[in-house]
């Protein structure tokens, strides 16, 4: 894996518009390719890789990508499929976008430690790698269980209409504003981890 990441890192250094290439992978649902490129080129991404996305090359590339993925995710949540097959594809795209958003977040926070581990342990059994990577992610507040997660059937909101009926997601702009206010209030109650390697 180390050789593969080193090769990808060298290729990324020669890529004129790295953030745009990453965005193309994310937008096309290529999660594995996105993960490898994010991990291999994170130093270049953090340093503000040359990019025309959002008109700035001086911002942290992870912030730019995160905002782009967030906008795509919100747009997809409001989009409706025209028939059964289109709806299934839309749901798959929503799931891939949510995974990409999480991927950008994980690598922006824990990528340096993950990369250091890969550089130091190029020939280690899979179980040991999983254990150490899990430990690094837990240090940053991400807790992998090793179990497969069915992200398509996640229901993060228990949305209820005023008449008590259950609804899927937000139904109009007013509810979006109310949900945002509730999330802001919840943010104040969340315990923030203030110690650990690499936390800002």
Q: State pLDDT tens for residues 91-129.
A: 888 999 999 999 999 999 888 888 887 777 777 676 776
Helix (H, G, I), strand (E, B) or coil at 166: strand
Q: How many CB atoms lie within 10 A of CB 51?
A: 23
CA–CA separation, 112 and 38 (whole Å):
11
172 within a domain of the structure (yes/no): no
Contacts of 22 (CB under 8 A, 6+ apart): 34, 37, 38, 41, 45, 61, 65
Q: Per-residue pLDDT averaged across 75-83, rounded? A: 76
190 within a domain of the structure (yes/no): no
11 within a domain of the structure (yes/no): yes
127 within a domain of the structure (yes/no): yes
Smallest CA-to-CA distance from 71 within 26, 110, 31 is with: 26
pTM value > 0.75: no
Runs of H (alpha helix) within 121-172 = 126-139
169 within a domain of the structure (yes/no): no
CA–CA separation, 158 and 26 (whole Å):
28
Runs of H (alpha helix) within 79-172 = 84-120, 126-139
189 within a domain of the structure (yes/no): no
Each residue's pLDDT tens digit, 16-58:
889 999 999 999 999 988 988 998 898 889 885 444 455 544 5
Report how many domains make up the chain: 1
195 within a domain of the structure (yes/no): no
Domain span including residue 32: 2-154
Phi then psi dihedrals of residue 141, to 5 deg: 90, 5
196 within a domain of the structure (yes/no): no
Q: How many CB atoms lie within 10 A of CB 152?
A: 11
Length of the chain in terms of residues written: 200
């Amino acid at each position: 894996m180390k050789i593969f990441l080193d090769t990808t890192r060298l290729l990324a250094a020669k890529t004129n518009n790295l953030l745009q290439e990453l965005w193309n992978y994310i937008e096309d649902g290529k999660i594995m390719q996105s993960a490898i490129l994010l991990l291999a080129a994170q130093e270049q991404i953090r340093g503000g890789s040359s990019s025309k996305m959002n008109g700035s090359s001086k911002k942290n590339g992870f912030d730019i990508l995160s905002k782009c993925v967030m906008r795509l995710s919100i747009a997809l949540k409001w989009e409706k499929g025209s028939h059964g097959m289109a709806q299934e594809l839309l749901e798959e795209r929503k799931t891939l976008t949510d995974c990409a958003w999480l991927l950008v977040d994980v690598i922006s926070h824990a990528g340096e430690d993950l990369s250091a581990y890969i550089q130091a342990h190029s020939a280690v059994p899979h179980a040991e790698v999983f254990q150490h990577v899990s430990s690094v992610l837990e240090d940053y507040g991400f807790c992998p269980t090793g179990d497969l997660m069915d992200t398509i059937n996640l229901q993060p909101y228990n949305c209820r209409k005023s008449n008590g009926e259950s609804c899927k997601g937000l139904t109009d702009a007013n509810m979006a504003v109310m949900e945002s206010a509730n999330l802001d209030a919840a943010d104040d109650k969340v315990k923030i981890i203030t110690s650990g390697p690499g936390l800002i």
